[in-house]
Structure 1
Amino acid sequence: MLQAPPPVRQVPVSAGKILNTKPTETFSGPTYEHDVIENYNTEEDAVLLSTKWLSTSQLIELSKTQGLVYKKGKFSTIEEQQVNNAIQQYVTDKQLTPEQLNEAIFPQTKERDAQFWSEITKAVPQRPIISVYHYVRRKHHPLKAQGKWLPAEDLKLQEAVASLGQAWEKVSLLVGRRAADCRDRWRNHLVGRDIRSNGAWTKEEEEELTRIMEEMTVKRGGTTDDDVFWGAVSDLMGNRRNRQQCRVKWLDDLNQRAKAKGEKPRWGNQDSYILVHKLDSLRVRDDTEIDWKTLPDEDWNIWSAHLLQRRWLSMKKSVKGYEEMHIQEIIEILKAKKADFDSTPGKAKRKSSSKKYPSAEMVDSSDEDSEDGNDKAGKD
């Protein structure tokens, strides 16, 4: 239905416009046209992204000085298909065998096949070639998707880290799992496993995490929404809670309570109404294209990006036949369903229901744009 990709810098309509609470502003529907020129590359920029192996710092500098627009973060479903189609087309055109394709992706030398990577990157013109390189190598890695870790593998990983430290590529060779999988298994499950707490958080733990987060953000001149390294937060918690537990507890509970002045906020129809109108204004082709971090604004900032994504999944699944619908069709149905609410602050209607929205584990909020092990906010 929508052929062009959404702007890279997504700017959703504000909650104030949606609810008509801004005296000088009115909301008259989606505003997809805003910043369109600034959000798309020139033909020269697209060539630059597909041919020059620019580092993260170089991309940031070009964005600041020359207005280069590029996309980072997890690849959308549509982008994944575009890359897959480009690889299949390249294989057909060059009549490559599976062995030759594997050699192009994983060369025996340090020399990269510039033509191959450039051709594949052209299929996703908003992506830098280095981003496509890492994505394709992850997807085609011979050690990917090996299933549940066995106790013997955990032991082998512990021995490898004790011997080699956190040199994950070397650890990978000893363990027989991808470097990223070894890294994530280590930091999310093995570090502090003997002393880790599970289940409900105690009041003392909540107060400790709140203090740590305030010291890492507000007391340094920032806000409680600022990105942090969750591994460092876990360390400060004495590793009694791992990085994933700390991230989910803060983003989906404690930070929201702090913004609501100690009260546990309740999601209502008004929130659902705002969410679907914000998503409508983005005009995305698929919900995997949504940049969830752009949705909160000064009029509506209680909910974390992670929780908004989970709420959307729950709302979407409430629409009969959603699997066969385009996202815009789903949004139109939900806009009508969620239009009935009490706009009085603090009096959102709440329907009793036994249904629960998806758990944190069901939502993949990781940023797979690099292989450097970054674990800032919103990354698993």
Structure 2
Amino acid sequence: NQLLKYREMNDITEEEQNRLIHAGAKDNAELFNLVCEEFPDRNRWSIIKFCRRKFHNFPARGKWTPEDDEDLTEAQRQMGTRWTQIGKRLNRHPEDCRDRWRNYLICGDTMVNVFWDAEEEQKLREAVARCMSYVKEMQQLGLIPYGDSEDDTELVDWQRVSVEMKRTRSRLQCRQKWKRMHEYEDRDKVDTPLKKGSASREKLARQGMQHMDLDDKLVILRSIKESQVGREGKINWKKVGDEEFQKRFAVRPLKEAYKK
């Protein structure tokens, strides 16, 4: 164990070593050099972050009382996003302070904790679509790298999605809900048997959807929003978009795009 070796070499306690781990990385380069030698194929910064998560002098993680939340809210008001300094003030791990704030407290009294209704789900689809459009623009400009996965939603800024939702839902709520929505949709696609002839119709629908760009999909979402229907079964697909839009796309490609 390289950390044990470093303690013995420098005659320090584990608590003292943990303080060094959470101090400046440049000031304690000798310590991190020793640890990084053990993992030559790993990124240096990822090793430092792992050490800071694993070795610390903070109390048990994950438990927050209302009083703790008040202290964190006040510290964030005064210190912004300087989580290391906030962690020191509250004697909490900086990552815990950051996550507690951005996943729960940032929304304040506007945060909703009841079930999502159809209108909220629609707002989430629109918010993610706008953020995805931004991601694709930045990728085309070379300002954001393409992800390793085919699902570019991994690159979505969920804090931005929360802002688009008017802070009624936190970034964590939005991300988890989006994941559940797609799990349900995928499950429905697997479990629903195809009727005779439906396979060819679905193929044609997908082909028609391939001619749509993000702006076309936003037209679909806006039209549905403006119609104020309560659920998907009440959508009048023949009235989606303007007359020119309706000439370009049949109903089935619209439904397929909406599901996606």
For the criterion TM > 0.5, the same-fold answer is yes
Which of the two has greater helix per residue?
Answer: 2
Residues 161-213 of structure 1, C-alpha deviation per residue, up to 9 Å, x if partnerless? Answer: 22222222232233222222111111111122422222321000111111111
Matched length? 178
Whole-Å separation in 1 of the counterparts to 2:43 and 2:134: 36
Q: Which residue of 1 aligns with 2:209?
A: none
> Which runs of 5 or more residues in structure 1 are unaligned?
1-84, 269-380
Residues 117-153 of structure 1, C-alpha deviation per residue, up to 9 Å, x if partnerless? Answer: 2221122222122221222122222125345111111
Match of 1:192, SS state, is helix
C-alpha root-mean-square deviation of aligned residues, in Å?
A: 3.1
- Within the candidate set 124, 149, 152, 1:225 is matched to 152
**Which structure's CA Rg is the greater one?**
2
Q: Is the 8 A contact 2:131 2:160 kept in 1?
A: no
- Within the candidate set 133, 140, 143, 2:58 is matched to 143
Residues 327-376 of structure 1, C-alpha deviation per residue, up to 9 Å, x if partnerless? Answer: xxxxxxxxxxxxxxxxxxxxxxxxxxxxxxxxxxxxxxxxxxxxxxxxxx
Q: Which amino acid aligns with 2:165?
A: M
1:302-313 mapped onto 2 (5 Å cutoff): none
Q: Is the 8 A contact 1:138 1:144 kept in 2?
A: no
Whole-Å separation in 1 of the counterparts to 2:113 and 2:3: 44
Q: Is the 8 A contact 1:218 1:224 kept in 2?
A: no
Match of 2:110, SS state, is coil
Question: Offset at 1:266?
Answer: 4.3
Whole-Å separation in 2 of the counterparts to 1:163 and 1:197: 26
Q: Is the 8 A contact 2:135 2:156 kept in 1?
A: no
Whole-Å separation in 1 of the counterparts to 2:134 and 2:62: 42
TM-score, structure 2 normalization? 0.58
Does 2:82 match 1:167? yes
- Within the candidate set 136, 142, 165, 1:237 is matched to 165
Does 1 or 2 have the higher relative contact order (CA < 8 Å, sep 6+)? Answer: 1
Give the 3 Å change call, closer, same or farther, for CA 239–104 of structure 1 in structure 2.
closer
Whole-Å separation in 2 of the counterparts to 1:266 and 1:152: 47
Whole-Å separation in 2 of the counterparts to 1:219 and 1:147: 34
Whole-Å separation in 2 of the counterparts to 1:246 and 1:187: 12
Q: Is the 8 A contact 1:104 1:113 kept in 2?
A: no
Question: Offset at 1:242?
Answer: 1.0
Whole-Å separation in 2 of the counterparts to 1:159 and 1:228: 29
- Within the candidate set 36, 51, 55, 1:121 is matched to 36
Question: Offset at 1:235?
Answer: 0.9
Whole-Å separation in 1 of the counterparts to 2:184 and 2:41: 34
Q: Which amino acid aligns with 2:170?
A: N
- Within the candidate set 163, 167, 188, 1:264 is matched to 188
